[in-house]
Structure 1
Amino acid sequence: MRKKRHNYSAQEKVTILKRHLVDRVAVSDVCDEYDLQPTVFYRWQKEFFENGAAAFEKSNSARNRAEQKRIEQLEAKLQAKNEVLSELMEEHVQLKKERGVR
């Protein structure tokens, strides 16, 4: 008879890996406890270490998005100021021409 396949969530996988890495429980004991094949455990561990940096990048990503939004707002403000300045300069030049002043 086949065993029922269990799909572990990401949080459950981390908890299982933590049992071995932090609590120092042997891989064989963890696999027996959760009815896992050791190859599955080691695949999860490999994925965990390869993608571990993503956990730290998320906070940076949010910070980068906020910083990028701020930059875009400042650029829009600068563009608006440049347009106003350009209009004022055009009016100034036009007035000088009308009055015959160089």
Structure 2
Amino acid sequence: MSILIEIIQGIGAIALTLINIYMWVVIIAALLSFVNPDPFNPIVQFLYRITNPAYSLVKRYIRTNFNGLDLAPLIIIIGLQIISVLLSAVLRAL
């Protein structure tokens, strides 16, 4: 039974790492939106391709544009932080 718990904790640790990486991707994409980068740059295209599904999901349910400032990245980061805290608490309880 302890092997199963360790496998679950390992998968949970990988999930937490992926959540943290995605949070940084959202932060970088949000910061790039302030400087208006070249849309044909492959890195910029990758960042937008990765973050746009999450942005569109949040924008579908919540009004995020306030006075020209898009708060979708902030909402996504807060949601990911909540998921991260809950997942780490569950993993510690095992």
> Could you tell me the TM-score, scaled by structure 2's length?
0.38
More strand by share: 2
> Could you tell me the TM-score, scaled by structure 1's length?
0.35
Which gives a bigger RCO, structure 1 or 2 (Cα 8 Å, sep 6+)? Answer: 2
